């Protein structure tokens, strides 16, 4: 059979495959005709063998190019984006991620760095108040003092609370994701953002705790503190894990190591985002509310206890074994 | 055999033995059907344009939603607006990429597509990761993503490297005309010596000739064909052909014909 005869013979099938691809490309939420899908996969396989023949037999470039494109089109429809199961993600977030986080040195490094810089900057500011001006600037401190000069529940209606909740999601969770993304630069970006926030927050805390606005300030920051500060640490820990994969490759190539670690780090960043959003709701609706301080402190204790439970329970169940979670993953 | 036709020392493409690798930004991947096909990588220019289009659409969407919140909701929806903006900014592209099989509106407009480096469609976590890491890729003053695209062979930014994705030109078979092959006259097939097996490089050259001869006039065909035909008959030691075009067609048909099935 000559090339000419072959092309003439197969062209109707190829054009039918082209029509199938166009049909599959059209977004639809209806169930598709299963018979046509079977026809499509059969036509795809035969186009594959036609392409193999055309390549091996050196068909004219026009024909092989056409077949290349046809096969690539059909291939991208046959192997579409895999669907994902929300249930699997939730299960991973409840069981796999907390265990992986607490057995990961990156988490403890981020936690230690954050708290030591936070407490260090706070203590330094308490001991010598001029540090606060050096660290965060006089205008920021003046704004903070102005903000907390009245009880936080005054001038705060439901509209402002929902608006501020949205703002906290946008701003704080955004900082968290930036801290995670910065990890791709060998972890340096995450460390810089983490250290900056720790020192800034520490200085503001140290300054406000020695100022006359102390009571209003404490009343506001108590309730959402546990979730928000943990979320900052988790974001940086996720970025650090990404950056560390570039340095300690465990025998893979650097690229391979990065790509194998990325889904794990991404899950931790996802957990941080969930915590940021929960913290935003507390910060928006509980912290500035008229509830008594005891209730706000109760929320802080409860959220801290929930975090302890969440992270330590899988540790008690599975131990510190490095590979324990991999069977679930 | 004249050495002009030898295919020696030509680097071959995996999956396409004997075919020389083009010096180009293309990538050959092997599918599960054991078929190799070529992807053309999308360069920084179309990708930047696609990003700008997406950014513009995002801005228009945010503006429209902002006007709606401001005028219709009288500001009461501002919290939802800001939270929505967060998800749109960080996750909007990822959601569209997953739903539209690797294409955002900007990518669709520029005819490019994100695929996994093994040629399969990207999955949810790959898409989220590569879009989160854009924050670093576009961080001034160094723009690490642009640097990364220039120095990596597959034109990947950092988000692509971490998630194992590439951006390719989305060619469509429908854009190419269906092939018309005209094998040409074959009346002097017996001029080709019985034992003659044309080398691959010659068959490839003849494939190009046969593929294009239908757009040439009769005189031009003879003129083009005469060059190769003269060398062939010299190598065979036979008298010159009366019709050089027909001779080349006959050689090509000898090389490519399968026994009838």
First to last CA, chain B: 32
Q: Do A160 and A67 fall within a single domain?
A: no
Cβ atoms within 10 Å of A170's Cβ, excluding its own: 21
Provide the chain B residues 177-216 that lie in CB contact (below 8 A) with chain A: 177-183, 200, 203-204, 206-208, 210-212
pLDDT at B76: 75
Residue A302 reports pLDDT greater than 60: yes
pLDDT band at B23 (very low <50, low <70, confident <90, very high): low
pLDDT in tens, B181-209: 666 666 677 777 777 888 888 888 888 88
Query: Would you say residue B31 lies in a domain?
Result: no
Q: Do B166 and B63 fall within a single domain?
A: yes
Across the interface, whether the CB atoms of A70 and B90 are under 8 A apart is answered no
Q: Do A245 and A185 fall within a single domain?
A: yes
Query: Would you say residue B180 lies in a domain?
Result: no
Which among B181, B144, B142 has a CA at the least distance from the CA of B159? B144
pLDDT band at A47 (very low <50, low <70, confident <90, very high): very high
Q: Do B166 and B194 fall within a single domain?
A: no
Which among A129, A266, A269 has a CA at the least distance from the CA of A193? A269
pLDDT band at A265 (very low <50, low <70, confident <90, very high): very high
Cis peptide upstream of residue B141 (ω within 30 degrees of 0): yes
Residue B173 reports pLDDT greater than 80: no
Distances B36 to A32, A57, A68, A268 between C-alpha atoms, Å: 29, 15, 9, 37
pLDDT band at A125 (very low <50, low <70, confident <90, very high): very high
More confident residue, A311 or A88: A311
Query: Would you say residue B21 lies in a domain?
Result: no
What domain range includes position A46?
A: 3-78
Task: Round to whole Å and give the CA distance between B158 and A100.
Answer: 25
Give the rounded distance of the alpha carbon of A176 from its chain centre. 8
Q: Does B33 touch chain A (CB under 8 A)?
A: yes
Report the percentage of chain A scoring pLDDT > 90: 53
User: At B20, which helix (H) or strand (E)?
Assistant: strand B16-20
Residue B1 reports pLDDT greater than 60: no
Q: How many domains does chain A have?
A: 2
Q: Do A244 and A96 fall within a single domain?
A: yes
Query: Among A15, A69, A84, whose Cβ lies nearest the Cβ of B171?
Result: A69
**Token pair in block for residue B247:** 């001779």
Task: Round to whole Å and give the CA distance between B88 and B61.
Answer: 10
Inter-residue contact A238 to A173 (CB < 8 Å):
no
pLDDT at A327: 41
Task: Round to whole Å and give the CA distance between A58 and B207.
Answer: 6
Average pLDDT of every residue of chain B = 81
Distances A140 to A146, A169, A221, B223 between C-alpha atoms, Å: 10, 22, 17, 83
Q: Do A288 and A171 fall within a single domain?
A: yes
Query: Would you say residue B170 lies in a domain?
Result: yes
Q: Do A170 and A73 fall within a single domain?
A: no
Report the percentage of chain B scoring pLDDT > 70: 83
Task: Round to whole Å and give the CA distance between A235 and B39.
Answer: 36
Residue B12 reports pLDDT greater than 60: no
pLDDT in tens, B195-254: 788 888 888 888 888 888 888 888 998 898 888 888 888 888 887 777 888 888 888 888
pLDDT at B15: 47
ipTM: 0.84
What domain range includes position B65?
A: 44-174
pLDDT at B131: 95
Inter-residue contact A286 to A224 (CB < 8 Å):
yes
Q: Do A276 and A129 fall within a single domain?
A: yes
Closest-CA distance, A136 to chain B, in angstroms, reads 23
What is the DSSP track for B85-137? HHHHHHHHHHHHHHHTTS--HHHHHHTEEEEETTSSPP-HHHHHHHHHTHHHH
Q: Do A178 and A53 fall within a single domain?
A: no
Q: Does A69 touch chain B (CB under 8 A)?
A: yes
Across the interface, whether the CB atoms of B85 and A170 are under 8 A apart is answered yes
SS3 B39: strand
Distances B84 to A169, A173, B81, B115 between C-alpha atoms, Å: 9, 12, 5, 27
Report the percentage of chain A scoring pLDDT > 70: 94
Q: Do B84 and B167 fall within a single domain?
A: yes
Q: What is the dihedral of CA B111, B114, B119, B125, to 10 degrees?
A: -160
Query: Among A3, A58, A163, whose Cβ lies nearest the Cβ of B204?
Result: A58
pLDDT band at B165 (very low <50, low <70, confident <90, very high): very high
Backbone angles phi, psi at B240, to 5 degrees: -55, 150
Residue A286 reports pLDDT greater than 80: yes
Q: How many domains does chain B have?
A: 2
Chain A interface disruption, residue of B16, B30, B172, B181, most A CBs within 10 A: B181
Closest-CA distance, B222 to chain A, in angstroms, reads 19
Q: Does B79 touch chain A (CB under 8 A)?
A: yes
Q: Do B163 and B203 fall within a single domain?
A: no
Q: pTM of the predicted model, to two decimals?
A: 0.80
């Amino acid at each position: 059979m000559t090339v000419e005869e072959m092309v003439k013979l197969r062209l109707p099938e190829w054009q039918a495959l082209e029509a199938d691809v166009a049909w599959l490309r059209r977004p639809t939420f209806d169930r598709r005709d299963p018979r046509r899908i079977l026809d499509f996969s059969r036509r795809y396989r035969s186009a594959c063998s036609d392409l193999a023949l055309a390549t091996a037999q050196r068909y004219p470039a026009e024909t092989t190019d056409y077949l290349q494109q046809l096969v690539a089109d059909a291939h991208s429809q046959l192997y579409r984006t895999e669907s994902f199961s929300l249930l699997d993600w939730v299960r991973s977030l409840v069981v796999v991620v907390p265990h992986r986080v607490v057995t990961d040195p990156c988490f403890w490094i981020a936690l230690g760095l954050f708290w030591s810089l936070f407490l260090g900057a706070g203590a330094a500011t308490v001991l010598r108040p001029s540090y606060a001006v050096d660290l965060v600037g006089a205008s920021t401190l003046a704004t903070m003092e102005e903000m907390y000069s009245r009880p936080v529940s005054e001038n705060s209606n439901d509209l402002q609370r929902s608006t501020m909740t949205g703002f906290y999601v946008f701003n704080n969770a955004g900082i968290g994701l930036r801290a995670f993304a910065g990890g791709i630069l060998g972890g340096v970006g995450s460390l810089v953002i983490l250290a900056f926030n720790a020192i800034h927050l520490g200085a503001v805390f140290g300054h406000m705790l020695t100022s006359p606005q102390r009571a209003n300030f404490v009343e506001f920051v108590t309730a959402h503190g546990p979730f928000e500060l943990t979320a900052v640490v988790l974001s940086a820990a996720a970025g650090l894990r990404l950056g560390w994969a570039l340095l300690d490759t465990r025998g893979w190539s650097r690229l391979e190591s990065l790509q194998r670690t990325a889904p794990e780090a991404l899950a931790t960043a996802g957990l941080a985002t969930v915590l940021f959003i929960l913290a935003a709701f507390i910060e928006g609706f509980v912290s500035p509310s008229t509830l008594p301080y005891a209730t706000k402190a109760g929320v802080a204790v409860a959220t801290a206890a929930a975090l302890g439970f969440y992270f330590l329970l899988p540790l008690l169940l599975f131990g510190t074994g490095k590979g324990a979670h991999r069977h679930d993953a | 055999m004249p050495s002009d036709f030898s295919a020696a020392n030509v680097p071959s493409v995996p999956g396409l033995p004997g075919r020389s690798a083009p010096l180009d930004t293309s990538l050959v991947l092997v599918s599960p059907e054991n078929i190799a096909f070529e992807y053309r990588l999308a360069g920084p220019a179309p990708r930047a344009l696609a990003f700008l289009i997406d950014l513009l659409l995002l801005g228009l969407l945010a503006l429209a939603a902002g006007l709606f919140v401001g005028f219709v909701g009288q500001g009461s929806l501002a919290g939802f607006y800001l939270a929505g903006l967060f998800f749109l900014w960080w996750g909007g592209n990822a959601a569209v990429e997953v739903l539209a099989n690797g294409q955002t509106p900007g990518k669709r407009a520029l005819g490019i597509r994100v695929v996994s480096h093994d040629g399969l469609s990207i999955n949810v976590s790959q898409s989220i990761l590569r879009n989160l890491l854009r924050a670093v890729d576009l961080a001034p003053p160094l723009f690490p993503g642009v640097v990364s695209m220039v120095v990596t062979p597959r034109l990947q930014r950092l988000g692509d490297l971490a998630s194992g994705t590439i951006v390719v030109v989305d060619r469509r078979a429908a854009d190419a005309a269906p092939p018309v092959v005209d094998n040409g006259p074959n009346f002097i097939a017996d001029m080709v010596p019985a034992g003659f097996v044309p080398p691959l490089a010659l068959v490839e050259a003849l494939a190009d000739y046969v593929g294009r001869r239908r757009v040439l006039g009769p005189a031009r065909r003879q003129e083009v064909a005469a060059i190769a035909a003269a060398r062939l008959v010299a190598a065979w030691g036979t008298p010159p052909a009366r019709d050089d075009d027909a001779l080349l067609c006959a050689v090509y048909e000898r090389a490519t014909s399968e026994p009838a099935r």
